[in-house]
Structure 1
C-alpha cells in the first residue's frame, strides 16, 4: 500500500529503568481516534512469547494465550507492575497515536492502563475499565525538539489487586491525508474551480483561511489519483458551517473508473449557521477505481454561503473483516475475501476497534441480527463501517428481530446493505436500532447511507435515555442519506426518548421529549419513505423526531402512501429546516394525517416543499404545552400545497385544518409566498389558538399572536374556505398582499371567535376585522391566478402561474417593507424577483 514517497528509518531503543520515575502521576485521561499508518513499536503483539522490545518492573508474564486479543500471546501485568519501551527516531512537532487492546481480570480494584510520556508534552493515560478486550487509544504530538516517546502499561495497585492484560501495543505514524491544501492556508492551490467558490481570509475554523462556496450554486474539487487502495475503507471528515438558516454545504467524496463513471460516493452535510461543526462519512473504494474526487459544494437554495475548513481523507485504522455464507465455518481470520467468516454470530462475538470495517458479501442473504455494544466504539474521525462487498448489496435477513442494533455505542457508518425483517405484522424489531440507555454516554456520529430497510415494525430508530441534567444532546452528527424505507408497520425513520426504566417514551402514539434536547445536528436527506401502514392506524409516521430536536435538517425526502399520523414530523426543539421535500397521500382514520409538522418548535423554516393529498394539514404549526413547548418564530414560504384537509369531521378538537394551519399556543409565525389550492371544503390557511376545553368557539384563547400572512395564493374550489381564523381583531396579526380566488363556489372566509361568522366578500371581512388594508387601501388581489392545472396532483408544474395571472408582479416587496430576508429563488429554483416586482405565490413567472 502506498502511503508515502519516502520511508524514514525508525530505531527502537530500549532504555533501562526499574520503575516509574519518582513523582510521575497520571494527569490526563484521553481516548481518541487512531489512524492507519506506519507501525513504529516493536513486538506489539508479544508474539515472541518473551520480553523482546520491552523493559518492565514487578511481575510480568508473556505467555497468556487464553487472554490474547489475537495471535497466541498477551502480556499479563500484575499489581504494582508495568512494561514499557521507548521509541526513538520520531519527528518533532508530529502527531502520533498509541493504542492497545486491554482488559482487567475482574471488575473494580485496579488503577492502571495505557500511558505515553517523555514526548515533549504532558503525560497521558487511558485507564482500563472493562473485563472484555477493549481498544484504548492516545493521540499525542511530539515537542519542538523531541524525537522519542515512552509507551507502556502500568498496574498501579500495589496491594494485591487486579491483574491487567495487554495485547497489540502499537505506536503508529498516522496515515497521510490524501487531500492537498486541506485547510486552505495556501488559498485555492490544488483546488479546481467549477463555479462560485474560493478561499477567503476569514470564517476559518483554524488558521486564517477557509473555503467559501456560494451564494449561487458553487463547487471546487480536487482529483486524487495516487495514495489510495481499492478495497480499503477511507474516512472523509471536515468542519463546516453556513451563513444563514436553510443553506447547506456538502463535502462529497466519489470514486470513478477510467470511463468517468461514478462508482460510489459519500456525502457529508453541514448546515449549522451559528458555528462550525464536525461531520464525517466513510467510503469503501470499489474495484476499477482510478481516481477519487473531493468536492466542496452548496445546495440549490442560494440562501447563503457555505464555509469549509480542515478537511481530511485518510485510510481507516482498523482491519477489514469479510463475511461470506459460502465459507465452511467461522474458523478463518476473516481479514480477506479468501479467508472470510461465515456467520453473523462471529461478528457478534468479536470486539471491533475504531476504524474497523465489516463487509457482507453482496448478492447473498445473511441470516441473523447484527449487534454492537459499548465495547465496539468508533469515533467521528475513525468510524466503524458496515457495508457490502463484491457484486450487489448484501441482505441481512433479521427474522423477527432487528437487522443492526447498536447499544450504547457510537461512531458508525452503515451503507449499501439491505435489511429485511420478513413480515411487518410479526416482526417486533427495527431495521437499524440505535439504543442509548446509558446516562454517561453521548453518541456522536451515526451515518446511514443508501440502505434499503423493509418489513420491520420500524425502519430506523434511535432512542436515547431521558436526562434532565447532563448530556442534554445525547446524539450528535446523525446523517440519514438516500435510504429507501418502506413496508413497515409504524415509523419510517424516528428518534425517541427512553424513560428512566428504558421503555419507549410513548403516549397516544406520540414520543414526546420532556426537559432535554435528545438529538442535535441530525440530517435526513434524499430518503424515500413509503407504505408505512399500521392496520390499527396508530403510531405511524414517515419521518419523526421526538425530544426537542436541535438543528434538524430535513431536505429532499419523499414520504408517501402511508396510513400515518404524519408525513414528516418532530416535536419541540429549535432551529429545524424542512425544504425541497415531497409529501403526499398521507391517510388517517382519525386525527392528524399532516404533511409536515414541526410541532411546538421555535425558529423552524419550512420552504420549497410540495405537499398534496393529505388527510390533515399540509403544514401544521402545532399546539404547545407550557413554556417549554411553544411554537414561535417560524417561517413558512414558497411551498405548494394541494388537496389537504381534515378528512374526518374537523379534526380531534373540531379544528378546521387546511393547507397551512397555525394551531395552538404560539407567536411570530410568518407565512408568505405559498401557493395553496383546496378542493374539499377545508381552508387554504387556518389560524387558531388553543381553545378553552378545546371548544373551537371559545373566547378564552391561549394565544396565537403576531402572525404575518403575505403574498400567498389562496385558491378555493367547490365551496372550500379561503381562510379560517379565531381572532377578535387584526391586533393579533397582519394579513396583507394575498390573492383570493374561488371556483365552483362562493367567496368564504370564516372567523370562529365566539361563534362561527362567515364572510362572503372581501369588503365585509376587511370591515369587520381590519385585515388586507393599509392606510385604508385594499391590499388584496382577487383575480384568477391562472394555475396550469390547479386540481391536478402528482406534478408540481400544475401550479405554475400563467403569463396573464393576477398574481404576476402583484406581490409585496417584503424585503423593503419589513426587512425580510426572502431568499433568492422560488420553489422551481428560479431567481426572484424576475423583473423588479415580486409575484404572489410560490412561482415567479418568467
Structure 2
C-alpha cells in the first residue's frame, strides 16, 4: 500500500510539474484578448481594453483556441519573443493584430540567444490556422553593428536570428497527429533590423534559412510533413539577414532533395505577393520545395548587400508549378564570381519544373538579368522587361542539362553592348550549356543602346548549340551588328519604334521606385515593324506585359507589348517546324542547299538532292507532337523540272511505322517561289512527318523545293 501511494504521489508531482512548465491558461474559443504594454496587468482577464494583459509572458503562457484574437495596443513596445500557443481551425483561425490606433505595435526580439531554429522574434511551432498582421518586428541587439561570423555551441549556431518564424518539427508530431500545417497568413507587418551573420553556416550545406519571414520543416525525415496554404503579403521588410522571405525542408539528406516527391513533402499553395523589401543581406525571396505557388507584385530594392553568393533577387529551388509575375527587382550586387550562377535579378535554379517568369520588370542589377543552372524542365520566361542589367543577360552556374525545352519569349532586353554580354560563357554555349534540348528565343527585343562590343555575342553565329532564334528584333543604335549575332531567319533589324524605352523610374510615395512610371515607354508605336511580326507558340500564354489579350493580328507582336493594330506582319498560319531535327533520303545536297533549308522559314534558300525522287522528314523535339491538318510547299528559285509532282505526306510516332495522311498527283508550280497549301483530315498528333516525293515535274535528275510548312 505504501509503495502504491508513493507511485501515485510521484505521478501527481510529475503532472503538476508539466503544467507548471507549460502554458498554464487555456482560453475559450472566439475570445478577443487585449495586450497593453503600459496600462495592462497580467492579473486581468485580458478580454477588454480596460482589463488588458501587459506582457509577452502572459501571452506565451496561454493556449489559444479557434477564433481567438490577440490584439496588441497600437504604439506599445514589447521586448522579447512572442510565442503564443494553440491552433485555430478551418474557418476559425487565431489572429494577431493591433487595436487603438494606426501605429504598429513593436515586438523587439533583442537579438537574444535562443535555441537554433527557435529564433524568431515572433514564433510558431507545429501550429496552424494563424494570421499575423500589423506588427513591427525587430531582432537585433545593436542596430548599428552587423554580425559577420557564426558562433557555435554544441555544434549548432548560436547567433542566428529571425523576424517571424514558423516551424514544423516532425519529431514533435504525435502518432496520428496532423502532419500538414494549414493556413499560415502573414500580412501587413513591418519587419526590419533582423541581424544574423553574413554567411551560411558551412556544416548546413550552404542551406541555412533565416531572415525576415521564414517557414520550414525540421526533425526526422517522415512522409507528409509539410505546409499548405501559406500567404505572405503586403509586408515591408528592411535590413534583414540573410533572406527576406524563404521556406525549406531540412529533413531531407540528398543534395537535390530527392526525398521530396516520394515522401510527399511539397509545400503547397504558397502565395507571396505585394511585399516591399529593401537592403536585404542575401536573396530577397527564395521559394523552395514548393508546388503550386504564386510570387507576384513584390518590389526588391537592394539585395545581396552583405553576402553576395548563393543567391538571386527572386528565385525557386526544387519546386514545381511556380509563377513569378509582376515583380520589380533592382539594386543587386556589384560583383560575384564570373563563373557561378549568382547575383542576377532572377534565377532558373535547379532542380525545378514548370517555372514561369512573366510580366516582371528588372533594372540596374549590375550582375545581370537571369541565372540559369539547368537540371530542370519546362522553364518559360516571357513578356519581361530587363533594362540596364549590366554584366550578363544570362549567367550560368553549376550547370547540368535540362530534360525538356526552355522558352525565352517576347522579352525586352535593353543594355549597353560595351558592358553587357549575352552570357558569362559565350565561348562554351554549344559544348556545355545549350546542348541536348532546345532553348527557344522567339519574339524578343535585343536593344543595344550604345556602341556594341564584339564580345556581347559569341564570336560566330554558329556558336549557339541547340539554341533556336526566330522572329527576334536585333537593334543597335549605331547600326553596327556583330558577326556573332545569332542566325534568325525572320529577324527584324529596323528601329523597333517603341514609345520611349529605357527611362529611369521615379520614386513612389513609399520610397520605392515604381516601374509603372516608365512602362508605357516600352509599348510600340502604331507604325512599328514589330507589330504582327512575331512567331506564335502555345508557350506565349494569353496576355502581354500590360494585360492585353494575345494576339490581335495575323501573328503576335515582337516584344512585351501586344498592339491593337491588326495590319502588317507576315500573315497566314505559322508553321510548327521549329527546333526539330531534319533527315532525308539522300545526303547528296550541295553546300548551302542541305535538308535543313527546307524548314528555315526562308524561301530564298532551298533543299536540293541529286536524285529525281526522295523523301525528307521532320522530327519535333523529344516529347513534342502536333496534330497537323495542313501543309505548304514552296517552289524553289529555278529549273521547274525539279519541282515535286507526286507525293505522299505521312505521320509517325516512332520513325518506323508510317501512316499516309495525304496523297497528291500531277501537282504543278506555275511560278518560282510559289507557295501552295494543302489541307487534309487528321485527328492524331505525330512526332514525325515525312514528305515522300515519288516523281518530279520533268524527269530531271534532281529534286528541289524551297520550303515546307506544317500547320495545326
Both structures adopt the same fold (TM-score exceeding 0.5):
yes
State the secondary structure of the residue aligned to 1:521.
strand
Q: How does 1:768-787 map to 2 (within 5 A)?
A: 772=488, 778-787=489-498
From 44, 48, 59, give the equivalent of 1:336. Answer: 48
Residue 519 of structure 2 corresponds to residue 800 of structure 1: no
Q: How does 1:565-576 map to 2 (within 5 A)?
A: 565-576=311-322
From 356, 362, 376, give the equivalent of 1:611. Answer: 362
From 555, 559, 562, give the equivalent of 1:841. Answer: 559
State the secondary structure of the residue aligned to 1:632.
coil
1:476 aligns with 228
Partner Cα distance (1:346, 1:658) in 2: 54
State the secondary structure of the residue aligned to 1:575.
strand
Partner Cα distance (2:417, 2:109) in 1: 43
1:154 aligns with none
From 212, 216, 233, give the equivalent of 1:459. Answer: 212
Deviation, 1:377, is 2.1
User: Deviation string for 1:228-279 (max 9, x for gaps)?
Assistant: xxxxxxxxxxxxxxxxxxxxxxxxxxxxxxxxxxxxxxxxxxxxxxxxxxxx
Deviation, 1:832, is 3.1
Partner Cα distance (1:328, 1:715) in 2: 63
Deviation, 1:785, is 1.0
Deviation, 1:838, is 2.2
Structure 2 runs not aligned, ≥5 long: 1-6, 113-119, 148-158, 174-178, 196-210, 506-517, 565-712
Q: Is the 8 A contact 2:170 2:221 kept in 1?
A: no
The answer to which of 514-523 and 331-340 deviates more is 514-523
Structure 1 runs not aligned, ≥5 long: 1-77, 80-103, 109-129, 136-164, 171-316, 534-539, 625-629, 647-656, 690-694, 749-758, 767-771, 773-777
From 445, 457, 460, give the equivalent of 2:183. Answer: 445
Residue 446 of structure 2 corresponds to residue 736 of structure 1: no
From 50, 75, 95, give the equivalent of 1:385. Answer: 95
From 330, 346, 349, give the equivalent of 1:596. Answer: 346
Residue 456 of structure 2 corresponds to residue 708 of structure 1: no
Distance of aligned partners of 1:828 and 1:702 in 2 relative to their CA distance in 1, 3 Å threshold: closer
User: Deviation string for 1:752-785 (max 9, x for gaps)?
Assistant: xxxxxxx35x6xx53xxxxx2xxxxx31111111
1:556 aligns with 297
Residue 242 of structure 2 corresponds to residue 490 of structure 1: yes
Residue 418 of structure 2 corresponds to residue 673 of structure 1: no
Partner Cα distance (1:369, 1:443) in 2: 21
Distance of aligned partners of 1:805 and 1:347 in 2 relative to their CA distance in 1, 3 Å threshold: same
Partner Cα distance (1:506, 1:352) in 2: 38
Deviation, 1:703, is 4.0
Residue 71 of structure 2 corresponds to residue 359 of structure 1: yes
Partner Cα distance (1:661, 1:490) in 2: 23
Q: Is the 8 A contact 1:715 1:722 kept in 2?
A: no
Q: Is the 8 A contact 1:672 1:711 kept in 2?
A: yes
Which one has the bigger strand percentage?
A: 1
State the secondary structure of the residue aligned to 1:842.
coil
Partner Cα distance (2:460, 2:131) in 1: 49
From 433, 440, 445, give the equivalent of 2:165. Answer: 433
From 393, 414, 436, give the equivalent of 1:658. Answer: 393
Deviation, 1:616, is 2.8
Partner Cα distance (1:587, 1:798) in 2: 26
State the secondary structure of the residue aligned to 1:798.
helix
Distance of aligned partners of 1:333 and 1:469 in 2 relative to their CA distance in 1, 3 Å threshold: closer
Q: Aligned Cα RMSD in Å? A: 3.6
Q: Is the 8 A contact 1:555 1:578 kept in 2?
A: yes
Q: Is the 8 A contact 1:525 1:554 kept in 2?
A: yes
Deviation, 1:835, is 3.9
Q: How does 1:20-169 map to 2 (within 5 A)?
A: none
Q: Is the 8 A contact 1:676 1:684 kept in 2?
A: no
Q: Is the 8 A contact 1:659 1:678 kept in 2?
A: no
Distance of aligned partners of 1:831 and 1:344 in 2 relative to their CA distance in 1, 3 Å threshold: same
Q: Is the 8 A contact 2:317 2:349 kept in 1?
A: yes
Partner Cα distance (1:747, 1:105) in 2: 86
Partner Cα distance (1:784, 1:730) in 2: 25
Deviation, 1:365, is 1.7
Q: Is the 8 A contact 2:108 2:121 kept in 1?
A: yes
Residue 388 of structure 2 corresponds to residue 639 of structure 1: no
Partner Cα distance (1:399, 1:700) in 2: 49
Partner Cα distance (2:428, 2:463) in 1: 17
State the secondary structure of the residue aligned to 1:346.
helix
1:692 aligns with none
Partner Cα distance (2:20, 2:229) in 1: 28
Partner Cα distance (1:780, 1:318) in 2: 64
Partner Cα distance (2:234, 2:529) in 1: 39
Deviation, 1:808, is 2.1
1:196 aligns with none
2:331 aligns with 585
Partner Cα distance (1:574, 1:328) in 2: 48
Partner Cα distance (2:139, 2:222) in 1: 37
| TM norm structure 1 | 0.52
Distance of aligned partners of 1:471 and 1:703 in 2 relative to their CA distance in 1, 3 Å threshold: farther
1:421 aligns with 139
Q: How many residues align?
A: 481
| TM norm structure 2 | 0.61
Q: Is the 8 A contact 2:429 2:463 kept in 1?
A: no
User: Deviation string for 1:198-234 (max 9, x for gaps)?
Assistant: xxxxxxxxxxxxxxxxxxxxxxxxxxxxxxxxxxxxx
Partner Cα distance (2:99, 2:135) in 1: 10
Distance of aligned partners of 1:105 and 1:543 in 2 relative to their CA distance in 1, 3 Å threshold: farther
Partner Cα distance (2:437, 2:461) in 1: 9
Q: Is the 8 A contact 1:642 1:659 kept in 2?
A: no
Deviation, 1:368, is 2.1
Deviation, 1:665, is 2.0
1:412 aligns with 130
Distance of aligned partners of 1:467 and 1:833 in 2 relative to their CA distance in 1, 3 Å threshold: farther
State the secondary structure of the residue aligned to 1:487.
strand
Deviation, 1:610, is 0.6
Partner Cα distance (2:440, 2:37) in 1: 61
Q: Is the 8 A contact 1:717 1:745 kept in 2?
A: no
Deviation, 1:448, is 0.5
